[in-house]
Structure 1
Amino acid sequence: MSSLPARPRFALAGVLLILVAGAFRPAAQSHGPAADEDFARLVREWTTRPEFLSPLVDHLPVVAGIPTPKDVIGHHIGQPRKLTYYDDILRYYRALAAATPRVKLIDIGKSDEGRDLIVVAIGDADTMRDLERYRNHLARLADPRDVTEAQAREVIAQAKPIYHIMAGLHSGETGPPEMLMELAYRLAAEETPLLRQIRGNVIVTLTPVADPDGRDRYVDWYYAYKVDEKGEDDSMGGPPYWGKYVLHDNNRDINYSQAITQALLGWFLKWHPPVMHDIHESVPFLYTFSGQAPQNPNLDPILYGELPWFANFEMTQAARYGMPGVWTHAFVDMWSPGYLAFMASNHNALVRMYEVYGNGGANTMKRRVERGEGAGSQATREWYRPLPPYKEVEWSIRNNVNYGQTAVLTALQLTAAFPQVILENFYQKSRNAVAAGRKEPPYAYVIPAGQRDMTRVAFVVNVLRAQGIEVGQAKAELKLADGTFPTGSIVVKRDQPYGRLAKILLEKQEFPDPTLRTYDDTGWTMGLLTHTEVKAIADKAVLDAPVMPIGEMKVAGRVTGTVQASGWLAVRANGSSRLVTLRWRLRDIPMRAASKAFTAGGTEIEAGSLLVRAGSAEAAKRTAAAVEDLGLTAAWLAAVPADAVTHDADLPRVAVYSTWGSTQEVGWVRYALDQYGVAYDLVFKERVRQGGLRAAYDVIVVPSQSGSGKRLVFDIEPKSKPLAYRKTERFKNLGMYGESDDITGGMGLEGVVELKRFVEEGGLLVTMGGASYFPPDFGLTRRVEASRPSPQFYAPGPTVQAEILKAEHPIFYGYDRKTVPVRWANGPLLRVPDEDKGQVLMQFPGGDASVLSGLMRGANEIRNRPAAVDVPLGKGRVVVFATNPCYRWQNLGEFNMLFNALMHFNDMN
């Protein structure tokens, strides 16, 4: 497939002249509206050094009828000790949209706590009146199969790129949501040649605050505790929660489980912005992402040219303005596809990202940028950092606003100078994605029909479909060189616009260079993590296989056999995690469970299957209906054999323990339990110290958190005053998902004693991942040792083999293989003495051959180390997972290890 023809040289030269003219024309030189003198004076006052301000943002025009942020929220942006609540941010954008035809608001959904999620669109009035036409242009370029090259050229000539900017995904990064309000006003009202060029050539869209629930909670916390902070050393930290479930990991939600990520993805797939720009806060003074190694090789090479093109232009312009500390490279890499803004690069658009220096609030304070010399220094001169940050600096939120807004306007300047190049690249990347699926294997992925648990197949399919990937179901048996697959098998062909993304998500990750480090996980293969069979297809004939397109996949449950009044309904443990949903949904119905597999009437009933007496007609009817609704499999049995070993499937009273300082991994477990309908209490140090745990609970789950036993026990270091987390009349967003008079100090040794007493009195304690240092370190599993790998060991989230040693243990009900893929959780290296080896339920074979996807450097260090142990203590038990069987809504294949522990809590013997 040929590319678009090269543009005539004179046309490109003309564009370059426009760019140069725009670049060197002082932004404030204009015969337009008068400037706000109060704004200019205050901005100079709030900016701590003259070189931290640029001519792009040192002024603000006053336009009659168009409100500035101050007109609505009462202060200019960047005022010290001022942060804006989300309601007021929305109020400003609504006032702006009501005042000018250059601004429109698009509703995209609701947050978990019911706040409106919006996208703000800004352009010239003509563009805004015809916004739907421009959306349709981009949709046509996003799917090149529906346009000829000639038609594409016509579309590009009429289209405008959408440049989408997102702020406030991480609630502790407070400056960008403030900055966007001023940027929106400037884009809508300012009449400099640069701003007119941007409005005329680009549609700018904004996500004002990606996580509004977290924004309001953090602003509450700021005014309650941080507004008087003087420096880094007296920080009062942040609130224990941002959003409902996760904090920082809302930028790692690869399967789009959260309400805010789902809403933004839905908008993206409808509007197809060629550029998506996520603004964060961390390193000094402004880092602009350039897609450094390791790079995902599946993404288009055009992308890897676009990234430094923008970053280098931004560095150049910042140097022109004399602004130090703008740099690129040497921070975030381009390996993992799971960051939220990477929905752009995953869908043939350009992903962009900044990190702007911030103080975690709105206070001006002295900062030590450089705490030491060395390769990790961010204040040294490098080829990618020609004008480095200062080693010490007095930093303000207005500095943050100046840097972020100057850089964004510079990026928009480049986009406005080359709008057709941006559109051509977007179209070409889409074409290349389709062509790649026809040129090189694998040409498709097949998920065979007839797998033991088709609900996990449906999960994979629906995650792919949610991301716009086309999925089909084979209309007939597939006979390919790679094998024969039954009718109804799932086929994901790669000759489609998002075929590259399908490969990224479904292939096994081969990390390109073991000497490199990466910012997040190195492995995420969906088939391995969900224990779903996925087959890569090298036979090109698969592209011609007839399939029926799938929208959303729903698995219908199946009940076989004939009901008999004296019989039983056996709900089979075929590996589906939805078995736990059925048990909790039907909590009022007595059930038994098969302790071991048995055969009845020629039907094999697996260990862990649930048994309901048919004699209770209503109970049997409701169970059968739930089986069908949940996609489970059940069989009517005339009788349960007399020699069948069963036990009561009692429902436990479950508590999930969380520290106040490490709620994120706990949040992922809460999310899973909520999705599967498992009832639980969320408890903190206050409830543990209170005692009487065994009278209230049967199981206490301690999700991965804290990273050491000591940190789990003692948690947040006490501050100069108590840090209460309670809802008050003034701070209505605090006290959500738990309350405390002081979140510092941890459960302490008093809490350890109570947890030990809970187990000794017959309770089940389950620890996962990083929390599993706690039982060995504090004597709950005296003969189990927990250590850490060597400094040379490096394993950021690969998928590795685990060997099940005790297949009969209830934790492994529904698992039918001796070895299973598990995600390496950076948990403890466990060691059990030889005489207690019977307590080891699962172990890591270790070695390079056991690494299934991603990178593990030093894989021999985990050889034959326990992955799960079950240790008796008094009348109860402690189950210690070195793995994390409930990670980020990803490793659904491991979820049942936790769910089985809950369902069979009192039958571990």
Structure 2
Amino acid sequence: MKSHSLILSAALLIQAALFPQPGMALSTPTPPDSFFKQPPGTDYYLANYSEYEGYLKRLAVESDRMKLVDIGKTAEGRTQWMAIVSSPENISNLERYRAISEKLARAKNLDPEEARNLADMGKAVVWIDAGLHATETVTSQGQIQVIYKMLTQTDQETIRILNDVIILFAHDNPDGMELVSDWYMRHSRKEDREFEHLPRLYQKYVGHDNNRDSFMVQMPETENINRVLFRDWYPQIVYNQHQTAPAGMVVFVPPFRDPFNFNYDPIVMAQLDEVASAMHSRLLSEGKAGSGKRGAAPYSTWHNGMVRSVSYFHNAIGLLTEITGGPTPTTIPLVPSTQLPRGDEIMPIGPQEWHLQDTLNYQYTLNMAVLDYASRNRERLLFNIYRMAANSIEKGSRDNWTVLPSNVDALAAAAPYVPEGNNEYQPRGRDPKLVDPALYQEIMQSPENRDPRAYVISPDQRDFPTAIAFLNALIKNGVDVEKAENAFNVGNKTYPSGSYVVRTAQAYRPHIMDMFEPQEHPHDEEYPGGPPKPPYDVTGYTLAYQMGVSFDRVFEGVEGVFSQMSDIIMPPAGKIEGQGAAGWIVSHDANNSFILTNRLLKAGIEPSWLTGEVNIDGETMQPGALWVPASDEARLIVVSSVTELGISATAVNTRPSGEIIALKPVRIGLVDRYGGVIPVGWTRWLLEEFEFSYELVFPQRLDQGGLSKDFDVLLFADRALPSAGAWGESSPETQPERGDIPREYRHMLGEITDEKTVPAIAEFVRGGGAVIALGSAGRFSQLLDTPLEPALVQTIDGIEIPLDSKEFFIPGSILRAQVDNSQPLAYGLPDEVDIFFNRSQTFELATGDGDVNSVSWFEGRDLLRSGWAIGEERLAGTIAIADVSVGDGKLFLLGPQVAQRAQSYGTFKFLFNALLYSGAE
């Protein structure tokens, strides 16, 4: 009997080894070399996401140091996995430590003594990701090695880290890893392997801009990441890994160059410098040369849209490294300017051959430096994230003033001040100029410039469903949003039930301020009196402005009965008003009205736009209201859609009088190129979100001509048309060899040329078709010989080029524009609108064929609403958006980026109107 038990036990052990069950840890996790086709880190080899996923699943049942978590689906439907790695004891108590991390990060009803006790009990939480930009392949391959080492190493440092730290190893872009790895490995001859000629973007819609979506949260991967970072685990360190390094170096490591954003807590910047120093020091101690910082690269901490930078606005340390290398061996080039040791490059590296494993060795060192810092500073990290949250709550609970560059400029413009008793004081050399201390309170702390204590968004606004979308972007970033259950008063104003309140007395106050208030970017010059130093990304992006949301700033406490929104908000159900039987009228004010319109058109129902104002029961609708004649099928669509979309329809007994614009189904050709154009990808997502049907069209099809057989309108997003002259010069796209491209992608090859493509498009337009040109595609104003010419130009040696940046420079900012909303392109818009402008062109009248209607223009000299602008007065009197007749067709010129990264909901109507107007009668 005893021997039978021993035999049975042995059999069970063998079965467990061969077929491990979830939760049953084995002592020897499978090494990568034994799982993958080749060892990750081998030259000319890339594991794909399916293999990576399989390996994580294997490790999850083989190691008690790891738990594998599904954090959501990707745009293409893959599972986005996160491997939680820590000591076995911590893994068995994850919820306890997650709750401590949340309580400290939120700091609600928590005093410093309690916070210190929690910090003593808690574990540091560190996020380390990979693969956000899929062609930056080394991060994904290196993560495989790092995870395995953390699961198997038994040295003192690793054990200490596992005891002190909970590591969240995540993959940011599974779809991209699958695409890039499979593309690279498709050739059997290793020398032929490359990923420079991918056929499409490596995130389904936005490619590289998946790292510009953090505050808007449109892509599913971003929502998954943000949920972990700001609503679930609250890591104190967010390490976002990238490549490529500056020329002549191996890796860029923080600190970053100025300016940093004035909204977040200074503690986060001090700790960022600490971690960065630990990373550089560890590289140097291991003899790993070639790291650079600050001025070695253009990266700054201003913009809120990136994975590591959004962290600063949530009191977390955001790290970015940019490292060299790849699966194909390369060399470190010799760059003379990098060879002399200096503060930003302490230990230069000489030219040498470089292999993938060389990069992964550096990556492992950097990972360990971050984890070692987190281990040694565990309690301080936990307490400081509480301290920053508590600081935010305290600032939002009292009068507070944010110091802005304009305040400092006002102080600097004041008369010099001579300190009492020092009548001979004169500033000299680099000595600072002194001003009267009394000016500090007058200029820096004037009562009218206080920070708000809350923002109130009332349902009584033009487009409430868009305001709900704005609030959802805040919620997805962990911001507390409250809904009023009853009417409430603030000062002399009464707000109705259903209003939303966002208080600034909460942990993520920096993010709230950044989304509601203007960004005021400091004037940043290459050298005193020199040209402006370009920002790393855009400078003005205030989301409430971009989305056209109306809100009130409140400078006192808000009292009432409120409920906190625990998850995504749905717009209040729309309704049918009135009892008429002839049809329905729907205001053009809400973006969601376009979804209703598209559903009707797809069902074969052809609604119309009413060109005049409509008065119903004393309420006036602006021109552009949607008229839907009654039918049983129309009723089903209208009733179900208005309920879902949060819009209202008014049933009337008689058809409205006056002129109409009859809408027809529109055949939209969205122009793209082989490899994908990022603004085209954003436009794709936007069209699908608002239920426009479209077809991608590539240069070969354009060159064939006969475009009217397939399309009513061709849509050129920014950068879809090669730039030249006044629009800047773009380098020709390098086309791969046709025979090297799989047959399914060959129709995408080709280039748009002035010689062959433009005549085919001109024939299409003059024959009655329409072209919508966004941003740099406004060059069609010249290519089609219209009466408009670019306004922001200079002529040198007979050649038009953009204005010198010292004269005119608006690198991604929000401006105020005027609108003629009696014109179809501007139906549903207010008289003035906040419009995103990024090194764009505007237009002025010249000579040429066709009639021009100015739809939106700039007026006056004070146009900047958020960001940075030099020479904005040059815009005065120029046209931003125009409706131009060309032969029997139309050219719609949308100079500014009205669909900027699918963020600027407040100006989507310019694009949507143009699309529907293209097929209208």
TM class by shorter chain equals: 0.7 to 0.9
- What is the alpha-carbon distance in structure 2 between the residues aligned to residue 625 and residue 559 of structure 1? 9
Contact 1:474 1:547 in 2 (8 A): yes
For the 8 Å contact 2:263–2:313, the answer to whether it is kept is no
1:786-825 matches, cutoff 5 A: 787=793, 788-792=802-806, 793-804=808-819, 806-817=820-831, 819-825=832-838
Aligned residues: 815
| Residue 352 (str. 1) matches residue 324 (str. 2) | no
Q: Deviations over 1:606-627 (max 9, x none)?
A: 311111223x244234313322
The answer to whether residue 200 in structure 2 is matched with residue 240 in structure 1 is: yes
Q: Write out per-residue CA displacement over residues 646-685 of structure 1, whole angstroms, 9 at most, x where no aligned residue.
A: 1212221111111225521001011011111111111111
Shift of 1:758: 1.2
Q: Is the 8 A contact 1:72 1:91 kept in 2?
A: no
Q: Which one of the candidate residues 846, 851, 865 is aligned to 1:852?
A: 865
Equivalent pair of 2:35/2:55 in contact (CA under 8 Å): yes
Equivalent in 225, 238, 252 of residue 264 of structure 1:
225
Check if 1:637 corresponds to 2:652. yes
Where does 1:148-163 land on structure 2 (aligned, <5 Å)? 148-163=111-126
Q: Is residue 890 from structure 1 mapped to residue 903 from structure 2 by the alignment? A: yes
Amino acid at match of 2:591: S
Give the one of 106, 118, 121 matched to 1:143: 106
The residue identity in structure 2 corresponding to 1:259 is: P
Find out whether 1:624 has 2:629 as its counterpart: no
Query: Does the CA contact (< 8 Å) of 1:66 and 1:100 recur in 2?
Result: yes
TM-score with structure 2 length normalisation?
A: 0.84
Matched, 1:523 2:537: no
From 766, 775, 780, the equivalent of 1:760 is: 766
Contact in 1 for aligned 2:240/2:319 (Cα 8 Å)? yes
What is the CA distance between 1:559 and its match in structure 2?
4.3
Confirm or deny that 1:250 pairs with 2:210. Answer: yes
- CA contact 1:349–1:426 (8 Å) conserved in 2: yes
Partner-residue secondary structure (3-state), 1:509: coil
Cα shift readout 1:813-847 (whole Å, capped 9, x = no counterpart): 01131x21100032224332279884332222363
Give % identity: 24
- Give, in angstroms, the shift of residue 132 of structure 1: 1.8
Report if aligned partners of 1:595, 1:608 keep a CA contact under 8 Å in 2.
Answer: yes
Q: Helix, strand or coil for the counterpart of 1:797?
A: strand
Q: What is the alpha-carbon distance in structure 2 between the residues aligned to residue 722 and residue 682 of structure 1?
A: 20
Which residue of the partner structure matches residue 273 of structure 1?
235
- 1:317 corresponds, among 275, 279, 282, to 282
Q: 1:664 to 1:196 in 2, by over 3 A?
A: same
Length-normalised TM-score, structure 1:
0.85
User: Contact 1:217 / 1:239 at 8 angstroms: preserved in 2?
Assistant: no
**What's the CA shift string for 1:149-182, capped at 9, x where partnerless?**
3332332222111111011000110101111111
Residue in 2 that maps onto 1:459: 469
1:740 corresponds to? 746
Distance in 1, matches of 2:625 and 2:123, equals: 58
- In the TM superposition, what is the alpha-carbon distance from 1:719 to its structure 2 partner? 5.1
The equivalent of 1:772 in structure 2 is 778
CA gap 1:226/1:693 in 2 versus in 1, 3 angstroms = farther
Mapped contact 2:184–2:195 kept (Cα < 8 A): no
Tell me what 1:900 maps to.
913
Matched, 1:583 2:597: yes
- Residue of structure 2 equivalent to 1:695: 709
* Residues 121-156 of structure 1: per-residue CA shift (max 9 Å, x gap): 111111112222211221221222243433323322
1:99 is matched with: 62
Change (3 A) 1:417 1:210: same
Distance 1:568 1:202 in 2: 64
2:127 matches 1:182: no
Partner of residue 79 from structure 2, selected from 98, 105, 116: 116
Q: What amino acid is aligned across from residue 896 of structure 2 in structure 1?
A: T
- Is the 8 Å Cα contact of residues 713 and 752 (structure 1) preserved in structure 2? no
Cα distance, 1:103 vs. partner? 1.4
Cα distance, 1:510 vs structure 2: 1.4
Choose the corresponding residue for 1:131, options 91, 94, 106: 94
Quote the residue 2:272 is aligned against: 307
- Select 1:839's aligned residue among 850, 853, 857: 853
Between the aligned partners of 1:78 and 1:855, the Cα distance in structure 2 is 44
**Which residue is 2:452 aligned to?**
442
Amino acid of the structure 1 residue aligned with 2:390: R
User: In the TM superposition, what is the alpha-carbon distance from 1:417 to its structure 2 partner?
Assistant: 1.6
Secondary structure of residue in 2 paired with 1:740: helix
8 Å contact 1:723–1:743 — kept in the other structure? no
Instruction: Establish whether residue 488 from structure 1 lines up as the match of residue 498 from structure 2.
Output: yes
What letter matches 2:713 in structure 1? V
- Asked if the contact 1:66–1:96 (Cα under 8 Å) also holds between the matched residues in 2, the reply is yes
Structure 2 match to 1:533? 550
Between the aligned partners of 1:395 and 1:369, the Cα distance in structure 2 is 13
Q: Which of 612, 618, 623 in structure 2 is aligned with 1:607?
A: 623
**Aligned mates of 2:103, 2:731 — CA distance in 1:** 53
Deviations 1:506-552 (A, max 9, x none): 111111334354211111112211111122222x223x444232343
Structure 1 runs not aligned, ≥5 long: 1-62, 728-734
Matching residue's letter, 2:290: G
Q: Could you tell which deviates more after superposition, 68-77 or 763-772?
A: 68-77
Alignment partners' CA distance in 1, 2:283 and 2:511: 34
Q: 5 Å matches for 1:544-583?
A: 544-551=559-566, 552-559=568-575, 561-565=577-581, 567-573=582-588, 575-583=589-597
Residue 599 of structure 2 aligns with an amino acid whose one-letter code is R
In structure 2, the CA distance between the partners of 1:635 and 1:92, relative to structure 1 (3 Å rule), is: same
Opposite residue 778 of structure 2, the aligned amino acid is: S
Q: Give the counterpart letter for 2:615 in structure 1.
A: T
Over 3 Å counting, the alpha-carbon distance change for 1:745 and 1:127 in structure 2 is: same
Mean CA deviation greater in 575-584 or 334-343: 334-343
In the aligned structure 2, how far is the partner of 1:417 from the partner of 1:112? 38
* Whole-angstrom distance in 2 between the partners of 1:250 and 1:650: 35
CA RMSD, Structure 1 to Structure 2 (Å): 2.7
Q: CA deviation at 1:346?
A: 2.5
What are the within-5 Å matches in structure 2 for residues 167-246 of structure 1?
Answer: 167-207=130-170, 209-224=171-186, 236-246=196-206
Work out whether 1:880 is the aligned partner of 2:893.
yes
Report SS of the residue matched to 1:888.
helix
Letter in 1 for 2:866: S
Contact 2:250 2:332 in 1 (8 A): no
TM-aligned CA deviation for residue 484 of structure 1: 4.6
How far did 1:217 drift? 1.3
Residues in 2 aligned to 1:405 and 1:753: alpha-carbon distance in whole angstroms: 55
> Hey, what does 1:721 align to over in structure 2?
737
Q: Does the aligned pair in 1 maintain the 2:851–2:884 contact within 8 Å?
A: no
Q: Which of 388, 397, 406 is equivalent to 1:429? A: 388
Unmatched 5+ stretches in structure 2: 1-25, 401-450, 526-532, 794-801
- Give the conservation status (yes or no) of the 8 Å contact 1:282–1:357: yes
652 and 745 in structure 1: CA distance in 2 versus 1, 3 angstrom threshold: closer
In structure 2, the partner of 1:420 is 379
Distance across 1 between alignment mates of 2:303 and 2:696: 32
Instruction: Provide the C-alpha distance between the structure 1 equivalents of 2:66 and 2:667, rounded to a whole number of angstroms.
Output: 53
Match of 1:676 in 2: 690
Q: Residue 740 of structure 1: CA displacement? A: 2.2
Provide the rounded CA distance (Å) in 1 between the counterparts of 2:575 and 2:552: 29
Deviations 1:19-60, CA, capped at 9 Å, x for gaps: xxxxxxxxxxxxxxxxxxxxxxxxxxxxxxxxxxxxxxxxxx
Name the aligned partner's letter for residue 828 of structure 1.
Q
SS of the aligned residue for 1:147 comes to coil
